[in-house]
Chain A
């Protein structure tokens, strides 16, 4: 019994103080495991034609893998599985629409932001709502687990924020007048706005800027630094702009300008 206890004690010590450098592991393995969404257009989703996972997040992680000189191994994750898969080491880098907030940064490390988009509020045109103040006493939908939900709750203190599982459900609630506003990153909300046949409008004010970063397990400074260096290189070579243009640029339905370049974490912390 005593021996078992000692073994358990020893194991738990070796777990908590395990000294490994994830970056060195990735390089010796020759494979970088990236976590992406499999159901979020256009960040990470299954291309119906090729059946492979594609999207902006996928391209960003592929570019980082290329820069590190290793092969890319994609794994799709759900919203709830993002942090545990990172913490258990099942996934090296999380590029799954992972947005920075100070509270979240206590659990994982965030790289520089590779995508910066405003969180905006979509309302119905005939509702007469023009500003955040008009939303007082009304309901606002948001995607569960998103920063839009967090920001809406912080900023729209006089409105009730109701979260739904995904964009289509949040939008359906707006379309059916269950809620009077929908808080969502503009890059995603534009898709719903375009399909509403002119019935919806964005409020002029933005709730906040969402900074999407690469998620790295805590205590891996070498890996975090390598990711940041890669992102800077990809920015200066124009690769990130090319990736943005592929998914949000003039050639597709979003036609969103890229308002901010790679932003170091120090700027939004």
Chain B
């Protein structure tokens, strides 16, 4: 191992580079996470309410689960603008950034997984719970809100935290379309200095700090919502 290469990290410009990369990664993560959890919940509602044929939501979920995430990002950035009319394409180039397309691809991808986790949480609640709530005179929505969903979210919580961790790491794929996030700056530094070890050590530690924070928040939330019998 080449320890003297760590000296590149002492350069304030390098530190600024990593700071900017970290901020972009966090922006990517929060924007995609908010969109993904909202869309994931919406997908479950659509699927369970029967407004749309369940196969439509199913197809959406299967596409995002079975096609590599990097391909999905490429499709949004390079593919979709090409099938649009030229004037839209020009508009997209002028006004929509790589960051925007990355958020679209990442949030759709994560939403598919999140909707499946929520659905499995809901299915884990025994049907007797719903029947009992209705028998007590609650409306369908009230029973859903107060009896089924509150238990379902609790059951799905570990899986939902998992998705947040996965999403944080998947944001690194946005480097493929030129979003200057953490791994982008790491590889930029590596290409510039050939100091490979510190270039990758730094993002490793930053990702680790972020995921550990997320896990801590997740377990705090789970503890505070634990029910006492």
Contacts and interface: CB of A to CB of B under 8 A. Distances in A.
A84 B197 contact: yes
Interface residues of B, number: 26
B190 A145 contact: yes
Contacts of B219: none
B5 A107 contact: yes
B178 A163 contact: yes
Interface size class of A (residues with CB under 8 A): 20 to 34
Interface in B45-91: 77-78, 81-82, 89-90
Contact of B81 (A87, A106, A149, A176): A176
A169 B175 CA distance: 12
Interface string A138-173: 000100111001100000000000111100010011
Contacts of A106: 5, 193-195
A120 to B, nearest CB: 19
Interface in B1-16: 1-2, 5
Contacts of B172: none
B151 to A, nearest CB: 45
A84 to B, nearest CB: 5
A173 B178 contact: yes
B127 to A, nearest CB: 50
B176 interface: yes
A58 B146 CA distance: 68
B78 A172 contact: yes
Contact of B191 (A87, A145, A164, A169): A145
Contacts of A83: 190, 194-196
Contact of A84 (B89, B176, B196): B196
A80 B189 CA distance: 11
B78 A144 contact: no
Interface in A81-105: 82-84, 87, 101, 103-104
Nearest to A15: B1
A73 interface: no
A239 interface: no
B176 A149 contact: no
A177 interface: yes
A107 B187 contact: no
B209 to A, nearest CB: 22
Given A169-B176, A176-B93, A145 B187 contact: yes
A107 B82 CA distance: 43
Interface of B: 1-2, 5, 77-78, 81-82, 89-90, 93, 98, 175-178, 184, 187-188, 190-197
Given A82-B194, A177-B90, 6 more contacts: A104-B194, A107-B2, A145-B190, A176-B78, A178-B77, A178-B93
